[in-house]
């Protein structure tokens, strides 16, 4: 279907851990940590438990300021940890777990039940309230309320200064705008700054390892730092988008979404600080609204319709890292790019210490243009 350039159909339902009805068993008075992940490919979800509060404590490896929520919006690819305090008295009741779709014309529902040892009756009573299906304001305000907990004594970022991210000079700004185009034969493609990603005949990491990038004619020679046209629906080119990045540079990434659906972006190999969100098109004045003190650090972030999201990231992890839409349809049809993070004078992979980038395994399967190369790695 996607190869024919058509959209995926709407989903049939929501499963919890693969079950149509999921059962949890609580013991009175205990506190449970629930790890909630949206592993779908398109739909934002709202999670809630009847008559139980959710204490948010973590997201994607970062401890958050502890705050109670009655429900949580979880966008595609995102994860949260909440603490739930089991009741001491239930009067024989059990309780609903609801997971409902967000921002969809047809609302879908996943169902679970919390049982206690004395539960004799099925769940009953008022269904836990949810935000209106297209209440974007609720979701934006909730996202802005999630902060990094600076008082938790956990391991911090390494000493380049990421912990004090607000005091670091930005090396480069990339404004990345997602787009939808309809090409020949009415086939759809998705773009970033007018470029729709095509995979070359040789995996990019192998081409980089054997210094054959120049031979991959499909690689976009100079990926634009910002959208090149106001015509979001215009396809400028197709190819393998690779952005060359200096190791330990500090990047300002702005994700712009001019389309009517929520977008989520994920960056492999890193967490970034989500410093700002706003409506409309981003401009320099938006920097005055940034949270430069305790913005949450995570690897997947949402961008609301006709809005923008800004993140800051210290690119201190060498390698070839994928930055992509977490929407499966958009990713498959071209909405991704790669960041090639290299140190100055480190073009030869054999000169990179193993502590900075793991070498290619000796038994790696070679293919494409490097099929006849010998995989030899000499440790430094």
* 200 vs 238: CA distance, rounded Å: 11
Q: Return the H-helix or E-strand segment holding 36.
A: strand 31-37
Q: Is residue 8 part of a domain?
A: no
Task: Please measure the distance between the N-terminal and C-terminal CA atoms of the chain and give it in whole angstroms.
Answer: 48
Q: Which of 79, 113, 145 is the last residue of a domain?
A: 145
- Identify whether residues 72 and 204 lie together within a single domain: no
3-state secondary structure of 204: helix
Q: Is residue 160 part of a domain?
A: no
Query: What is the pLDDT, as a whole number, of residue 380?
Result: 47
- Identify whether residues 295 and 219 lie together within a single domain: yes
* 57 vs 227: CA distance, rounded Å: 37
Distance of CA 152 to the CA centre of its chain: 24
pTM for this predicted structure: 0.92
- Identify whether residues 139 and 58 lie together within a single domain: yes
CATH of the domain at 103: 2.60.40.420
- Identify whether residues 33 and 119 lie together within a single domain: yes
Count of beta carbons in the 10 Å neighbourhood of residue 73: 25
- Identify whether residues 170 and 250 lie together within a single domain: yes
What residues make up the domain containing 76?
21-145
Number of domains in the chain: 2
* 305 vs 308: CA distance, rounded Å: 8
- Identify whether residues 141 and 223 lie together within a single domain: no
Looking at the DSSP assignment, which residues form a beta bridge with residue 342? 246
Q: Return the H-helix or E-strand segment holding 143.
A: helix 136-145
Torsion (CA) 124, 125, 129, 130 in degrees, nearest 10: 20
> What are residue 21's phi and psi, to 5 degrees?
-135, 120
Q: Is residue 304 part of a domain?
A: yes
Q: Is residue 3 part of a domain?
A: no
Alpha helices, DSSP H, located in 263-333: 328-332
Query: What is the pLDDT, as a whole number, of residue 255?
Result: 99
Nearest one of 246, 244, 291 to 272, comparing CA atoms: 291
Query: What is the pLDDT, as a whole number, of residue 159?
Result: 45
Under the phi-then-psi rule, with left for phi > 0, alpha for psi from -120 to 50, and beta for the rest, what region is 208? alpha
- Identify whether residues 185 and 269 lie together within a single domain: yes
Q: Which of 145, 177, 196 is the last residue of a domain?
A: 145
Query: What is the pLDDT, as a whole number, of residue 257?
Result: 98
Query: What is the pLDDT, as a whole number, of residue 152?
Result: 80
Q: Is residue 354 part of a domain?
A: yes
- Identify whether residues 136 and 211 lie together within a single domain: no
- Identify whether residues 136 and 67 lie together within a single domain: yes
Nearest one of 85, 77, 71, 96 to 33, comparing CA atoms: 85
Q: Is residue 25 part of a domain?
A: yes
Q: Mean pLDDT per 10-residue run, the chain (380 residues)?
A: 85 94 96 98 97 97 96 98 96 95 94 95 87 95 96 58 79 96 84 93 88 78 82 72 94 98 97 97 97 96 98 94 97 96 76 78 86 63
Query: Helix %, strand %, coil % for the chain, to 5?
Result: 10, 40, 50
Q: Which of 145, 175, 208 is the last residue of a domain?
A: 145
How do residues 17-43 score in pLDDT, each as one tens digit?
Answer: 999 999 999 999 999 999 999 999 999
Q: Is residue 208 part of a domain?
A: yes
- Identify whether residues 39 and 175 lie together within a single domain: no
- Identify whether residues 174 and 103 lie together within a single domain: no
Query: What is the pLDDT, as a whole number, of residue 234?
Result: 64
Q: Is residue 376 part of a domain?
A: no
- Identify whether residues 118 and 70 lie together within a single domain: yes
């Amino acid at each position: 279907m996607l190869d024919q350039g058509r959209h995926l159909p709407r989903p049939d339902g929501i499963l919890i851990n693969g079950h149509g009805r999921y059962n949890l068993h609580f013991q009175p008075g205990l506190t449970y940590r629930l790890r909630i992940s949206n592993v779908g490919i398109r739909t934002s979800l709202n999670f809630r438990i009847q008559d139980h509060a959710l204490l948010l404590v973590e997201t994607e490896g970062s401890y958050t300021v502890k705050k109670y929520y009655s429900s949580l919006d979880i966008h595609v690819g995102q994860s949260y940890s909440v603490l739930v305090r089991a009741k001491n008295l239930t009067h024989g009741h059990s309780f609903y777990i609801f997971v409902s779709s967000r921002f969809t014309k047809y609302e879908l529902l996943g169902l679970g039940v919390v049982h206690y040892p004395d539960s004799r009756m099925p769940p009953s009573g008022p269904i836990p309230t949810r935000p209106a299906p297209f209440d974007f304001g609720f979701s934006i305000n909730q996202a802005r309320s999630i902060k990094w907990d600076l008082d938790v004594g956990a391991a911090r970022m390494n000493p380049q200064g990421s912990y004090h991210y607000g005091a670091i000079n930005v090396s480069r700004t990339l404004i990345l705008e997602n787009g939808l185009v309809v090409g020949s034969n009415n086939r759809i493609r998705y773009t970033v700054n007018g470029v729709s990603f095509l995979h070359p005949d040789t995996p990019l990491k192998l081409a980089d390892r054997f210094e054959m990038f120049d031979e991959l004619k499909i690689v976009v020679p100079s990926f634009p730092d910002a959208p090149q046209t106001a015509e979001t629906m215009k396809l400028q080119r197709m190819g393998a988008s690779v952005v060359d990045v200096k190791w330990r540079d500090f990047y300002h990434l702005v994700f712009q979404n001019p389309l009517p659906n929520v977008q989520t972006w994920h960056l492999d190999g890193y967490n970034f600080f989500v410093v700002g969100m706003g409506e409309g098109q981003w401009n320099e004045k938006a920097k005055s609204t940034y949270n430069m003190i305790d913005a949450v650090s995570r690897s997947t972030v949402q961008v609301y319709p006709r809005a923008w999201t800004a993140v800051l990231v210290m690119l201190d992890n060498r390698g070839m890292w994928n930055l992509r839409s977490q929407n499966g349809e958009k990713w498959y049809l071209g909405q991704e790019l790669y960041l090639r993070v290299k140190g100055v004078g480190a073009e030869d992979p054999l000169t990179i210490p193993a502590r900075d980038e793991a070498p290619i395994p000796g038994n790696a399967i070679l293919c494409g243009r490097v099929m006849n190369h010998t995989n030899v790695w000499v440790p430094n």
